[in-house]
Amino acid sequence: MCKEMESDKKKTVDDLAKAVPDSDCRYIVFEHLYKTADGRPADRLYFINWLPRSASNPQKMLYTTARPYLKEVCKGCIDLTATTRGEILDQILKSDGKQKDDDEASDDGKDDWMDD
């Protein structure tokens, strides 16, 4: 059930999303290297609970139940749960500022939800 895998630091979030299995749950510790808005190199560690929709319910329950114990070992990591590859990409890229939050105001200075 446990598969340990090390990866090159040059691997990206896209590489991670491609590498996760289609129908097996996993715990993943991922170091994401990125540049801040002002161009400084930075990194973040993520503890990802991968629960693909096609995994069996007993397997998802097992991984969900054991998660708090493993999370204790990974203190300091940003905690994520993902059921699709897109969720992995969205959550990590949102946290490093590469993606705009859905509820942020548009760049034109107007709030889309307000009447003119």
Q: Where are the domains of the chain?
A: 13-95
Instruction: For residue range 37-51, list pLDDT tens digits in order.
Output: 899 999 999 999 999
Mean pLDDT of 24-36: 91
3-state secondary structure of 43: strand
What was the pLDDT predicted at 71?
A: 86
Alpha-carbon distance of 28 to 77, in angstroms, equals: 11
- Nearest by Cα to 84 from 53, 46, 48: 53
Question: What is residue 11's predicted lDDT score, i.e. its pLDDT?
Answer: 81
Q: With residue 81 as reference, give the H or E element that holds it.
A: strand 78-82
Return the pLDDT at 106. Answer: 37
Q: Average pLDDT, whole number, for the chain?
A: 81
pLDDT digits (tens, 9 = 90+) for 58-86: 999 999 999 999 888 888 899 999 999 99
CATH of domain 13-95: 3.40.20.10
Instruction: Note whether 88 and 13 are within 8 A (CB).
Output: yes
More confident residue, 112 or 75: 75
Q: What is the mean pLDDT of residues 96-109?
A: 46
